[in-house]
Amino acid sequence: MESLLMMRHSQDHVFSNDSVVQDCQNTISVDLLHLSLIPAAMIAGVLSFLQRRAQRLGIDHRLPFLRGRFGIVVPLDTIGSLSNRWSYGFAFGAVSSSVLLLFSEQYIPFTVPPWARAIVYLIGALEVGLAYFPFFACLSTPFRMAGAVLGILYSLPWIIVTVWDTITCPNGKVLGKYQKVIVQWPCILSLIFLLGRFIYMLVKAVRIRQQLEPEQDTEELIEVHQVNHVKRLLRKTPKHSKPLSWFQRRVYEWDPYFKFPNRIIGTVIISLVGLYTMTLADYSLSNVVFDKVDKWKNTLEYLVESCNETETLGAMIPQLEEFVHVARKSWLATTIFASMNSVAYTFHILACYRKHLKRLWKGQRGFIPERFHNPSSAISVASIARYSGWQIAFTLWGYLIVHFVHFLLALLLVYALVLPIQHGKALTMLTNLGIIVLTIGLVISFVILQVVLVQIFFLQDKLSPTDKQKPLALNNRKAFHCFNYFFFFYNVVMGISNCILRLLTSIVVGTWLVSRIDRTIMQRGYENMDAGYSTWIGMIFADHYHNNPVMVCFCQLLVSKTLVRHNTSAYSTFSNTPPESPVNSRVRRRWALLYTLLRNPHLILLRKHHLSTSSSLATSPSSPSDTVVRAWVMASQAQSRQTVLPPEIIVTQAEES
């Protein structure tokens, strides 16, 4: 009876604390999100008014005073832009709390039918996008001073309201005291960083306006690190390079000539903030659940004692207490390991992104299934838009799934090893463990035995002593047929256990890698059924075609040469010399032509005068061979005279002959 009264007293105490926490709760986050739509729309309108359209529309003829204004404001270049990457990353960090707010009950205070939840989430996602649109637009706008001023005016109210709400109402229902401080500090830190960034932009814009700093050209096609990457490709590889350290070989090797785009950095930051919030919620909710289980266990104890139940029910109570205790400790321990595993996956995906892009730049596609070698253009571009959201969702869901798998493995380990030792049944445990290990060892040993017997008796000798292995040629065929016959029956029995082991291994590995969007969890030939992996392949192909340093460098050279030809200022990325005189340029071209023809005589057949006379030469049956002979003769004559005659005469004689 006393235990029941104590249990009721503890319940009343918990409910009183919950009521205090509940009184402190408010919907300031949702209200701030709703109220920020008006200034966000006004800022978007101002930036759109400043932006001029490159192509005039019909409305410009009707309203000529607009002068092409109200252009499209781009919040973030998710493909080619590599500037302000960490600023955009912190902007995504500020968004993370509102993205998780979409799935809470506070955002939908009214009841909606289940089929309409997808529409509500779509409207909520659009609302979050519009509310945080000024942060991204003010960072990306070419009007730096206006963007900085609007960014400061917009970020200050967000910081003030968020900090005031966190200080005045720090408690919560899940984490108790200081819940908002624990949860909201990444968002507050991101907002403060953005405010500092906008202040820096304003100061720099003022200095440029006063001509204290040179204005930077933001119209270049290529970045400095891409130029350095191309220079490294053209540079000879040193014979004796510095050996890599253990960290570089096993963990990560830093590449100063590679930069992750804004989309990847923003995705990683939101994933990490989401994992942080998910881990806190998981830890708090698990404590609440286990506390309720303890209360039910105490109630069951009291009922068993008061009703004088049988000894069977009384014997189940200690086992239930033991299970609850083991489950609580296992869940807490696996929470830490699952969080570390998800964080490691998040950073490992960065390494895989760089590794896969570098392989595509080299023309290596062997790591991709053959059916994905030429993905659809529409799928690749759509994958750019899908990747970030899918990666975040895969990371959060993967944490929960991996946590549950870790929890089951921890329970298995405790009940198989730890508890038998604590209960004095170590000998029985070791006996059972020895039987299991011996069975598995025998199965593996018989598999190895078959390979060894084939290697010794049923393969022919090496063709050369330097060969690494014997050729795939049978020896002692009659003995091999007998060997194959008698082992057939044993392999049937062994195949049953291997089939079950294969299924269990596939389940464990599939659930363990569910958050790895860069690796398919489907069998070979069914990769297209893995939508996450298809998104990853489409995304890296889109980035490969748009950001390949060699292609971008080539386009930069073409554009810079065109600008020089039109007597305009060239890009500052390459040191372009003034246009040469016609005589020097012609001599340079002739030298290049001579060198090319000497190194590749067969190209003479592809020149214009040979192609134009190919129809007349085709009438003679010996014309192709004669033409080839003439090409090689001209090349040899030119090579013998190149030290005597100038290049203009050599090339002219070759053309005339």
Give residue 576's pLDDT. 44
Task: Please give the pLDDT value at position 21.
Answer: 41
Domain boundary residue, one of 490, 522, 554 = 522
CA nearest neighbour of 190 among 75, 93, 88: 93
Domain that holds residue 134: 25-215
Q: Report yes or no on 452 lying in a domain.
A: yes
Reply yes or no on whether the pLDDT at 376 is more than 60: yes
Dihedral of the alpha carbons of 319, 322, 327, 329, in degrees to the nearest 10: -170
- Share the mean pLDDT of the chain: 76
Banded model confidence at residue 608, pLDDT cuts 50, 70, 90: low
Task: Report pLDDT digits (tens) over 193-247.
Answer: 889 889 988 998 888 888 777 776 555 667 787 888 888 888 777 766 777 777 7
Residue 92 and residue 75 in contact, taking contact as beta carbons nearer than 8 Å: no
Q: How far apart are the C-alpha atoms of 361 and 549, rounded to whole Å?
A: 8
Q: What is the pLDDT of residues 497-531, one digit of tens each?
A: 788 888 888 888 888 888 888 888 888 888 888 88
639: pLDDT confidence band, cut at 50, 70 and 90? low
**Polymer length in residues for the chain:** 657
Average pLDDT over every residue of 40-44: 89
Please, which pLDDT band fits residue 575 given cuts at 50, 70 and 90? very low
Residue 248 located in a structural domain: no
> Is the confidence at residue 634, as pLDDT, over 70?
no
Q: What sections of 169-261 are H helices per DSSP?
A: 179-209, 224-234, 246-250
> Does residue 557 surpass a pLDDT of 60?
yes
pLDDT at 650: 47
Torsion angle of the four alpha carbons 397, 399, 400, 404, in this order, in degrees rounded to the nearest 10 = 140
Residue 437 near residue 450, CB atoms below 8 Å = no
- Give the highest mean pLDDT range of 67-76, 114-123, 220-229, 546-555: 546-555
pLDDT at residue 411 tops 80: yes
Which pLDDT score is estimated for 600? 79
Residue range 384-412: average pLDDT? Answer: 89
* Domain assignment present for 296: no
Q: Is the pLDDT of residue 262 over 60?
A: yes
Q: Is residue 54 part of a domain?
A: yes
CB 147 within 8 A of CB 136: no
Residue 136 lies in a domain: yes
The pLDDT tens digits for 142-153 are: 888 888 899 999
Query: Which residue is associated with the tokens 């040979």?
Result: 610
The pLDDT score that the predictor gives to residue 643 is 45
Taking the CB of residue 522, how many other CB atoms lie within 10 A of it?
Answer: 13
Domain count, the chain: 2
According to the model, what pLDDT value does residue 12 have?
40
User: Does position 612 have pLDDT exceeding 70, yes or no?
Assistant: no
Instruction: Report which of residues 210 and 571 the model is more confident about.
Output: 210
The per-residue pLDDT for range 436-491, each reduced to its tens digit, is 888 888 888 888 888 888 888 888 888 888 888 888 888 888 888 888 888 888 88
Residue 599 lies in a domain: no
What are residue 619's phi and psi, to 5 degrees?
A: -70, -25
Residue 303 lies in a domain: no
Helix 311-361 / helix 377-413 crossing angle, nearest 10 deg: 150
pLDDT of residue 81: 67
Highest mean predicted confidence (pLDDT) among 79-93, 422-436, 559-573, 601-615: 422-436
Q: Which of 522, 550, 572 is the last residue of a domain?
A: 522
Residue 14 confidence class, pLDDT cut points 50, 70, 90: very low
Among residues 215, 230, 254, the one where a domain terminates is 215
User: 529 vs 355, 520, 521, 535, 568, CA distance in Å?
Assistant: 24, 9, 10, 11, 52
What band does 617 get if pLDDT is binned at 50, 70 and 90? very low
Q: How confident is the model at residue 621 (pLDDT cuts 50, 70, 90)?
A: very low
Counting residues of the chain whose pLDDT is more than 90, the rounded percentage is: 3
> Does 283 reside within a domain?
no
**Mean pLDDT calculated for residue range 563-572:** 47
Output the pLDDT for position 514: 85
Amino acid 510: pLDDT? 84
Mean pLDDT, residues 157-165: 85
| C-alpha to C-alpha distance for 137 and 147, rounded to whole angstroms | 8
Residue 64 has pLDDT above 80, yes or no: no
